[in-house]
Structure 1
Amino acid sequence: MVQMATFSFMIGGNRRYWLFQVFGWGTVFLMNLFFAWSYDRLRTFDDRMMFFARFGILFILGIVFTHVMRMVILEINLLQKKLEKQIYGFTLLTIVFSTLSALLYIGALYRYNYLSAKEIEAIKESGFLLTLLSSTVNIFIFYVIWSLIYFMYHYIAKSRKQQLETLQLETLVKELELKTIKAHINPHFIFNSLNSIRALVDENPQKARKAITELSNILRSSINVDKSETVPLEKELAIVKDYLALENMRFEDRLRVEYQIDEDTLDQPVPPMMLQTLVENAVKHGISKQIEGGVIRVTSEFDSKGSHQLVVLNTGQFEGKITPAKDPLDPLSQGFGLSSTNDRLHFLYGTKGKFEIKQVADNLVEARISIPASQLAL
């Protein structure tokens, strides 16, 4: 009972394998039946009985020996070895098991008298070894086909599994990098905002309290948007407006803000905190260094190619290039904001996402983000 249960479990656990086994050796049987019938070798009842008996033995031996060969392959872990060793291993096993199968096949034909008088006479003339060699070569062909199919099936399955694992690893790395970048953007933004509030505490406590309220709104929004890779532009724009309202308390008349927003772009998905990072950069490196202050203009529109363009134009001078931060684990390292913008666009959109910052006039700097437009929003 235990053996029957084990056998039943083995078949149930490898249903696809056993279906292939029966289908493959059944195909061999049907092909031989077709050729025997085509060459008129099944004329009498005895001929038909002889044929079915002989190929019934071949069918059973084929299933049993290839299954044992599969067990050996799994036992020695052949499929996990180098390709050269796999080829040598499959070749050796195919020769050994086809020889054993041929030996038992001839022995069964002798034992149950499934050889014709003409075949017995031919064996006596050529000798047993030559007969065994001839039978081994015929059976070897079937075993080679079985080995090739088994090898190719697992080779392709292994390659697909490796490709899937590689894609999963790349996705995981991408998610971790995006989370790392987001984790650094928020502290960087918070530190600057707290510095702005600190400057108002002694000068104007009432404005400082209002600034704290603005900061709490920004932090609440930033916590929510961190949960996804993209957010609607409308939500991102709300954070930008809160931030600029906060900075306007510190700079007063030195900071002028303009918005040129195409209403059709408000539903467009954008990376969270990205536009705010550019605006923060414009304030820190542009407006704050101008004695008379300046203007920040935020633009959102579609270009002629259908791409979504986010532009931050500010008074100031752009010096340097967009380079990765010297220490990407240090949120205060120079260049982190711009380099993180470049990196996030690359992770999210590949070559379709573009970011550039340049001097467009004597005292005007333009930061431009180009990302694929969402067709649903359009």
Structure 2
Amino acid sequence: MLKKISKYWWCQMLGWSAYFALNWFYYYTLDKSVVQLSDFINLLIFIALGILATHLFRTLINKRNWVTYNSERQILLFFAMVAGTSVTVYISYNSLMYFVYKYKQEDLVRALISPFVISFIWWMIYYIWHYIERNRSSQVDQLKLETTVKELELKTIKAQLNPHFIFNALNSIRALVDENPQRARTAITELSNILRSSMQSEKAETVSLENELNIVKDYLALEHIRFEERLNVQYDIDPDTLELQVPPMMLQTLVENAIKHGISRIISGGSVYINSSLKGMQHVITIENTGQIIENSINGHGFGLQSTRQRLGLLFGSRASFEIRNKDEHTVEATVVMPLL
């Protein structure tokens, strides 16, 4: 039976019981006058009216969905509830006192002090409680949303190591088996490293740039088997950035995008330039490749690129950015800016 009572009513009962106990303690210890039965009844009437008034006003603001109000309106609503509750208790209590005892309160200000103080304390506790609850609920929902998004992104990113790349790599390895067995064995190791990193990427939110670069080098080594002299790769990596954290498979996704939508579409091939540097309190990664972004093409709106933006937003918020553009008539530039953790 007790389990069915809501937290709200538990707080009502405990709060008003504490108020009753404090008043009774005052009557018996500090107040020198004789306590009569009518004092006990009057106190119970005041408490009953307090419970009724606070509950009615609470029901009113819940029906009007006050939770959605902004901070300024919340403050105004708070004082309106305090004033409304205290005036309601004062009028109803004094009306009953006049009806039963023919007693009329002469000092209006003094008579309002007690209902006002009680109402102020009641609504202050109520607002603080709901403020904490809303924040906690919002944080939990946000964490659940971020976790879901990250899981979906990571699963899709693993799929971004698309079958075409794997088939091309396997065909290249098969061609090397007789021609260059040692290189074929190395290529198999490079492919297994990439697949292993793809499977393990969901276990961590970030990895070091050095680890990410190792995967990119394995990936480009496999692509070099296919493109041979048509693919030229250059690295310009600041050693101070190697231990910095980046989203897993992000760099590999951007390099794959450069190969797939840039180099592979040019008969003569082209170059991929990878730069990592520090600029103030920011870590900047730049990938340049031969090619051009065609308006409304997948280059600017593919899932891999959208996923990169979303993951950067989840990890760093507005402090991180991602941009891909045509640097000139022959080069595409992708730039990732992340804050130093």
- TM-score bracket for this pair, using the shorter chain length: 0.7 to 0.9
Tell me the distance in 1 between the aligned counterparts of 2:60 and 2:161.
53
Name the structure 2 match of 1:162. Answer: 134
Instruction: Give the superposition deviation at 1:140.
Output: 5.8
1:10 maps to which residue? none
Which residue of 290, 315, 318 corresponds with 1:315?
A: 290
Alignment of 1:346 onto 2:313? yes
Q: TM-score, normalised by structure 1?
A: 0.67
Is the contact made by 1:318 and 1:365 (CA closer than 8 Å) also made in structure 2? Answer: yes
Deviation, 1:28, is: 8.4
**Kept after mapping to 2: 8 A contact 1:215/1:246:** yes
Contact residue 265 and residue 302 of structure 1 kept, 8 A: yes
Tell me, in whole angstroms, the C-alpha distance in 2 between the residues paired with 1:234 and 1:165.
38
Q: 1:96: Cα distance to partner?
A: 8.1
Give the Cα–Cα distance (whole angstroms) in 2 for the partners of residues 84 and 297 of structure 1.
55
Q: Which residue number in structure 2 is paired with residue 94 of structure 1?
A: 89
Q: Percent identity?
A: 33
Partner SS, residue 311 of structure 2: helix
| Distance change in 2, residues 1:93/1:192 (3 Å) | farther
Helix, strand or coil at the partner of 2:333: strand
Q: Note if 1:217 corresponds to 2:161.
A: no
Q: CA deviation at 1:282?
A: 0.9
Q: How does 1:201-240 map to 2 (within 5 A)?
A: 203-205=175-177, 206=181, 210-240=186-216
- Residue 256 (structure 1) shift: 1.8
TM-score when scaled to structure 2?
A: 0.73
- Rounded to whole Å, the distance in 2 between the matches of 1:98 and 1:362 is 84
Q: 1:79 Cα shift? A: 8.0
Which range moved further: 261-270 or 213-222? 213-222
Q: Which residue type is aligned with residue 104 of structure 2?
A: L
Structure 2 residue corresponding to 1:177, chosen from 149, 170, 176: 149
- Which secondary structure does the structure 1 equivalent of 2:156 belong to? helix
SS, match of residue 226 in structure 1: helix
Q: In the superposition, relative to structure 1, how do residues 278 and 143 fare at CA in structure 2: closer, same or farther (>3 Å)?
A: same
Residue 19 of structure 1 and its aligned partner are, at CA, apart by: 9.2
**Alignment check: 8 A CA contact 1:322 1:338 kept:** no
Farther off after superposition, 281-290 or 166-175: 166-175
Instruction: Give the total of aligned pairs.
Output: 312
In structure 2, the residue matched to 1:38 is none
Distance 2:64 2:42 in 1: 28
Equivalent residue in structure 1 for 2:304, among 326, 337, 361: 337
- Tell me, yes or no, if the aligned pair for 1:197 and 1:208 is still in contact at 8 Å: no
Distance 1:201 1:28 in 2: 91
Is it true that 1:149 corresponds to 2:149 in the alignment? no
Shift of 1:208: 5.5
Superposed CA offset, 1:331-351 (max 9, x none): xxx711112212222222222
User: Hey, what's the Cα distance between the residues in 2 that align with 1:322 and 1:62?
Assistant: 76
Tell me, yes or no, if the aligned pair for 2:154 and 2:201 is still in contact at 8 Å.
no
Q: Which residue of 2 aligns with 1:134?
A: 105
SS in 2 for 1:319: coil
1:271 to 228, 233, 247: 247
| C-alpha distance in 2 between matches for 1:145 and 1:266 | 61
Q: Quote the Cα distance in structure 1 between the aligned partners of 2:305 and 2:328.
A: 20
> Distance in 1 between the 2:65 and 2:265 partners?
67
1:130-184 deviation per Cα after TM superposition (whole angstroms, max 9, x unaligned): 7433289766642343133213321332133123312321232122222211211
What SS does the corresponding residue of 2:267 show, helix, strand or coil?
coil
Contact persistence 1:94–1:143 (CA under 8 A):
yes
**Post-superposition CA distance 1:228-279 (Å, at most 9, x none):** 2211111111111111112112112222222111111111111111111111
Deviations 1:211-243 (A, max 9, x none): 333221112123323212211111111111111
| Aligned equivalents of 1:352, 1:16: Cα separation in 2 | 47
Structure 1: gaps of 5 or more residues: 1-12, 34-47, 104-126, 326-333
SS of match in other structure, 1:216: helix
Match of 2:32 among 46, 49, 64: 49
Deviates more, 1:198-207 or 1:141-150: 198-207
Q: How far apart are the structure 2 equivalents of 1:337 and 1:292? A: 26
Of 48, 56, 62, which aligns to 1:81?
A: 62
Larger radius of gyration: 1
